[in-house]
Amino acid sequence: MTAREIANKYNCDLKPIRLALTKAGYDTKKNANDRNVCISVIQLDKNTEKPIQEFISTRAAALYMQAHGYTKDKRDESVSHHIADAARGKRKSAYGFKWKLKE
């Protein structure tokens, strides 16, 4: 979802959205052409593929995995990358779960 899409969805000004994303660690300057700011992902049960929960970004999913002991890796960029790879089909799973991109 782009910053512009978020602003449109919630009927608010684009500037505070970009400011909030910047404070959260997202580089909004490279998204000047409205490329995706976040990759929303859905965590799935590895065996049944039933949805467990949805995350607004791979980073949010990574922070959740770290906080709940699914990984000992302290680098959330690395965990986020593995989740994104699983969601894109480059890996079968990540941290005991299947992942898919939100459509």
Give domain limits for the chain.
Answer: 1-36, 41-101
User: What pLDDT score was predicted for residue 23?
Assistant: 65
What one-letter code names the amino acid at 95? Y
pLDDT digits (tens, 9 = 90+) for 58-98: 888 888 898 889 988 888 788 988 999 999 999 999 999 99
Structural tokens at position 92: 């079968």
Residue 75 contacts residue 88 (beta carbons within 8 Å): no
User: What pLDDT score was predicted for residue 90?
Assistant: 95
- b/e map of 87-103 (b: 16 or more CB within 10 Å)? beeeeeebbebbbeeee
Q: What is the pTM of this model?
A: 0.65
pLDDT digits (tens, 9 = 90+) for 19-35: 777 666 665 554 445 55
* φ, ψ at 87 (rounded to 5°): -65, -30
Residue 64 contacts residue 41 (beta carbons within 8 Å): no
